[in-house]
Amino acid sequence: MQEGIGIRVPEIMLPDKAVDLHKWSVIACDQYTSDAGYWDRVARLVGDAPSTLHLIYPEAWLDSCDMEKRIRSIASAMRRYMDRGILKALPPGFVYVERMTSEGRLRKGLMASIDLEMYDYNPGASTLIRATEGTVVDRLPPRIRIRKGAPLEVPHVMVLIDDPGKTVIEPISEGKAAREKLYDFELMLGGGHIAGYLVNDGPSIEKIFSALMDLADPGHFRRKYDLAENKPVMVFAVGDGNHSLATAKACWEELKAGLTPDERKDHPARYALVELVNVHDEGLAFEPIHRVLFNVDPQAVLTGLRDYLLAAGMDAEYEMKGSEAAVAERLAELKQNFKGQLIRFAHLNSHGLFKITNQKSNLEVGTLQPYLDNYLAEHPEARIDYIHGDKEALSLSGKPGNLGFLLPAMEKRELFRTVILDGILPRKTFSMGEADEKRFYLECRKISR
């Protein structure tokens, strides 16, 4: 590892060539959290075949499974896959990834290990690697219990770099034909296609580190973001999987307390395997994450939101438009000259639009989320879920007792500047693509000695 840059060349494990990768690779555990049917289809497709399904804990099953039994089975499956040669170690090297999503977008990535000593998910962090959104600490304990007993990590974390010159990842694609192709297959249940290539030659590795060092240069950093002061450099922003990375950080902090200084320097648990993605990649889309409330009185929630915003010094009103098409038409009309924020909502067959001016937050989610947090604290019978995709959110909103808020997407080119200047965003502010464009589990890495 080059000192100070925050990443190292990983030692990755992949399934033996006899393993059916279509069954092996499943989507991130925090997707389809309110759609247990999706995960039931995954389970039927996989059966008893070797699969990352047996190495993770889908969040849709958290309330329906015996947690202790599931956690024990994960660690057991990891050891079994290693002992039986189902997982094979690659020579040290990066893996260049090309993902063709179901939306027809080609997204490029680079599998690398990041140094958890240079990562901080807390508000006000000044580290090289930072969270983009708030971390819900209450969500960490089940993940920590899994990782503490696991000999492997199976990551779905995607970490962004702000590389408008496309100097780090994109040059690798030019010579991919000469590289060893590690995998090339269709992902399950409409997840698209993925291919990976080994990057383990000295010149390519040196170019990657050199390009990252340029991004980390303090002078370049200040000029890039037009900073008047010496703000700490940030090169990596966690785009997806922040809670998984926060789990890895928590486990490392606990483990390193019992290690000697020499042991800490090179312990595998000090690092976490992630996919680096350039925020300027044409195949990377920022999608909004919608909010759906369950077991609520929708009219009371809407009235309460209006009153909350008015009491906070904002101007707020909402319109009922009946159909989704009518709301879309009204939204297009208002966007011509409306200077405030617009938030769609839906309940059963009713659709409407919140209009807010004099807002206190630059983002619609920052305006909405504090009210939702307060409401949920006062109504323990209610529940919230964070939904990727308009179709999924509208489907859930159409059920009795549910209310959905559909938020607009943020501009991805503004992400780094916003985090650098304003700090982390409200949790679940954006999604890197639709639900089925999320990272699928595939590569593994040892985290124990």
Task: Please report, for the domain that includes residue 386, its CATH number.
Answer: 3.30.1760.10
Q: Are 272 and 293 in a shared domain?
A: no
Q: Are 411 and 130 in contact (CB under 8 A)?
A: no
pLDDT means per 10 residues, the chain with 449 residues, are 77 98 96 91 98 95 85 96 98 98 94 97 93 85 91 97 98 95 98 98 96 95 88 94 94 96 95 98 93 97 98 96 91 91 95 95 89 96 91 94 95 89 85 89 96
Domain-embedded: residue 108: yes
Which residue type does 299 have? Q
Secondary structure of residue 426 in the 3-state scheme: coil
Q: Are 184 and 324 in a shared domain?
A: no
CA 442 vs. chain centroid, Å, equals 16
Give dist(CA 188, CA 353) in Å, integer: 36
Beta bridge partners of 112: 274
Q: Are 155 and 263 in a shared domain?
A: yes
Eight-state DSSP code of residue 408: P
Domain-embedded: residue 33: no
- Residue by residue, what is the 3-state secondary structure of 39-60? HHHHHHHHCCCCCHHHHCCCHH
Q: Are 225 and 416 in contact (CB under 8 A)?
A: yes
- DSSP string over 289-331: EEEEEES--HHHHHHHHHHHHHHTT-EEEEEE-SSHHHHHHHH
For the chain, give me the number of helices (H) and strands (E)?
14, 21
Give dist(CA 1, CA 267) in Å, integer: 13
Pick from 167, 266, 272: which is nearest to 216 by CA? Answer: 167
Query: Based on C-alpha coordinates, what's the Rg of the chain?
Result: 22
Q: How many domains does the chain have?
A: 2
Q: Are 114 and 247 in a shared domain?
A: yes
Q: Are 237 and 318 in a shared domain?
A: no
Q: Are 291 and 281 in a shared domain?
A: no
Indicate the pTM of the whole model: 0.85
Query: Which residues lie closer than 8 Å to 336 by C-beta, 6 or more apart?
Result: none
Domain-embedded: residue 371: yes
Domain-embedded: residue 62: no
Domain-embedded: residue 61: no
Q: Are 174 and 195 in a shared domain?
A: yes
Q: Are 274 and 363 in a shared domain?
A: no
Which residue type does 16 have? D
- What pLDDT score does 1 carry? 44
Domain-embedded: residue 69: no
Query: Which residues lie closer than 8 Å to 278 by C-beta, 6 or more apart?
Result: 108, 160, 161, 162, 163, 166, 168, 169, 170, 284
Which residue type does 222 have? R
Domain-embedded: residue 80: no
Q: Are 374 and 279 in a shared domain?
A: no
Angle, vertex CA 38, rays to CA 33 and CA 40, nearest 5: 110
Give dist(CA 159, CA 97) in Å, integer: 14
Q: Are 280 and 184 in a shared domain?
A: yes
Dihedral angle computed from the Cα positions of residues 263, 124, 10 and 146, in that order, rounded to the nearest 10 degrees? 80
Parent domain of 161: 7-16+89-285+434-446
Q: Is the dihedral of CA 252, 92, 179, 21 positive or negative?
A: negative
Q: Are 289 and 387 in contact (CB under 8 A)?
A: yes
Q: Are 371 and 272 in a shared domain?
A: no
Secondary structure of residue 108 in the 3-state scheme: strand
Query: Which residues lie closer than 8 Å to 328 by C-beta, 6 or more apart?
Result: none
Give dist(CA 127, CA 130) in Å, integer: 6
Q: Are 234 and 249 in a shared domain?
A: yes
Domain-embedded: residue 81: no
The number of residues in the chain equals 449
Helix (H) or strand (E) holding 171: helix 170-174
CB burial readout 276-310, b (16+ within 10 A) else e: bbbbbbebbbbbbbbbbbeebebeebbebbbebbe
